[in-house]
Amino acid sequence: MKIGDITLKNPVVLAPMAGVCNPAFRLIAKEFGAGLVCAEMVSDKGILHENERSLKMLYVDEREKPLSLQIFGGERESLVAAAKYVDKNTNADIIDINMGCPVPKITKCDAGAKWLLDPDKIYEMVAATVDAVQKPVTVKMRIGWDEDHIYAVKNAQAVERAGGAAVAVHGRTRVQMYEGVADWDIIGEVKKNVSIPVIGNGDISSPQEAKDRMDQYGVDGVMIGRAALGNPWMLYRTVQYLQNGIIAPEPTAREKMNICMLHMDRLIDLKGEDVAAREMRKHTAWYLKGLPQTGSVRNAINQMTTREEMSKLLFDYVDQLEEVQKIS
Ligand SMILES: Cc1cc2nc3c(=O)[nH]c(=O)nc-3n(C[C@H](O)[C@H](O)[C@H](O)COP(=O)(O)O)c2cc1C
């Protein structure tokens, strides 16, 4: 798949996820084979006011490339100015505009999913952004605001007319938040009605499902979010399956904990041990998902404040598990 002048080596895309897709996890996703990684959304106003936290979120490690950096905003002037900043001052490859965030704090400012009600605004905002920057501009959207306002096709066509280089479509409305199931028929309709690449997104939970969706709906790429949390193997196994039809084995508990600690080490480099230890609590719970006998280790995670404690907790658990498995 090509997005503007950026060629992806495969069609598997790590979804942008706030609080998750920082350089620590993105680099792991890239090492596990993702063709494109997306960064967590950054506020246009945060960038323009040179908010320290927002500017830190613009950091891109050379090894993560190609990378898409997502901005959100509700007003043309600030959105375009932030896009220009990202264009000139970061080594991101693609500038993505968020048109899917359902959270009231965001939609109240006319940002995120609010755009979905107004294809003309989408055209105007995307055209102004495309004109102002060199990097390819893409959009990530939901299918509509609610079931009475599903303008996915019109909205994607507006992106295309405005010069957008690709569109990623999450098959839910804003009102659905994360309830119900993603409507891939509508994603398929979008694919039939635009000629820019369409990346389908929503509820892909196995390599086979990713391939089925690509085959059935003809999308150019698949974007994977929640299934990759604590499970970058999902990305690797999907790439492998799409490329050679082989279902790679699931990781062992020890492999999972090794990557969990690599994740923690990278987060420590990025944010320091205190913040990393707190942030790793949720990630560790995700890495433990699907493993047996995790009750006591899960309970203990929330008390962890250092790398040493976390490592001991996780590898004691793995040692015990392996002992039990040897015996049985
Ligand atoms: C924790 C979390 C944070 C998210 N943050 C963003 C974000 O910053 N930008 C965005 O466009 N979508 C965001 N999303 C939505 C995902 O990119 C994706 O569209 C959604 O999770 C559906 O895909 P999935 O079923 O594969 O998880 C987020 C989702 C989750 C679970």
Residue closest via CA to ligand 1's atom 29 equals 17
The CA 21 to ligand 1 mean position distance, Å, reads 10
Instruction: Specify the pairing of strand 12-14 against strand 36-38.
Output: parallel
- Which ligand 1 atom sits nearest the alpha carbon of residue 40? 8
Pocket probe for ligand 1: among 12, 17, 142, 173, the residue whose CB has the most ligand atoms within 8 Å is 17
**Mean of pLDDT values over 88-98:** 97
Alpha helices in 152-272 (DSSP H): 152-161, 184-193, 207-217, 233-244, 253-271
| pLDDT above 90 for 19 | yes
**Mean of pLDDT values over 210-218:** 98
- Distance (Å, whole) CA 49 – CA 61: 23
SS3 for 67? strand
Which pLDDT score, from 0 to 100, does residue 105 have? 94
Which pLDDT score, from 0 to 100, does residue 170 have? 98
- Distance (Å, whole) CA 125 – CA 82: 12
The CA 166 to ligand 1 mean position distance, Å, reads 17
DSSP single-letter state for residue 182: -
- Distance (Å, whole) CA 41 – CA 15: 11
Which pLDDT score, from 0 to 100, does residue 25 have? 98
- Give the confidence band of 103 by pLDDT, cuts at 50, 70, 90: very high
Task: Give yes or no for residue 97 CB within 6 A of ligand 1.
Answer: no
The CA 15 to ligand 1 mean position distance, Å, reads 6
SS3 for 173? strand
Which pLDDT score, from 0 to 100, does residue 203 have? 98
| Residues in the chain, overall count | 328
Q: How far is CA 148 from CA 106, 116, 145, 151, 187, in A?
A: 21, 12, 8, 9, 17
Pocket probe for ligand 1: among 143, 170, 231, 286, the residue whose CB has the most ligand atoms within 8 Å is 170
Task: Give yes or no for residue 224 CB within 6 A of ligand 1.
Answer: yes
Which pLDDT score, from 0 to 100, does residue 328 have? 79
Alpha helices in the chain (DSSP H): 23-31, 44-48, 52-56, 76-89, 104-107, 119-132, 152-161, 184-193, 207-217, 233-244, 253-271, 273-288, 295-301, 307-327
Buried-exposed string 275-312: b where 16+ CB fall within 10 A, e elsewhere: ebbebbeebbbbbbeebeebeebeebbeebeebeebbe
The CA 309 to ligand 1 mean position distance, Å, reads 30
Report residue 45 as tokens: 């106003």
**Mean of pLDDT values over 56-64:** 96
Specify whether 101 is catalytic: yes
Tens-place pLDDT, residues 271-286: 999 999 999 999 999 9
Task: Give yes or no for residue 140 CB within 6 A of ligand 1.
Answer: yes
Tens-place pLDDT, residues 111-130: 999 999 999 999 999 999 99
Task: Give yes or no for residue 18 CB within 6 A of ligand 1.
Answer: yes
| pLDDT above 90 for 245 | yes
Residue closest to 90 by CA, chosen among 29, 166, 23: 23
Which pLDDT score, from 0 to 100, does residue 313 have? 98
The CA 26 to ligand 1 mean position distance, Å, reads 14
- Distance (Å, whole) CA 49 – CA 36: 29
Residue closest via CA to ligand 1's atom 15 equals 17
Q: How far is CA 122 from CA 115, 242, 326, in A?
A: 6, 33, 59
The CA 61 to ligand 1 mean position distance, Å, reads 22
- Distance (Å, whole) CA 163 – CA 126: 7
Task: Give yes or no for residue 43 CB within 6 A of ligand 1.
Answer: no
For the chain, give the mean pLDDT. 97
Question: 21, 38, 101, 260: which one is catalytic?
Answer: 101
The CA 324 to ligand 1 mean position distance, Å, reads 37
Share of the chain above pLDDT 70, in %: 100
Task: Give yes or no for residue 74 CB within 6 A of ligand 1.
Answer: no
Task: Give yes or no for residue 170 CB within 6 A of ligand 1.
Answer: yes
| pLDDT above 90 for 230 | yes
Residue closest via CA to ligand 1's atom 30 equals 17
pTM over 0.85: yes
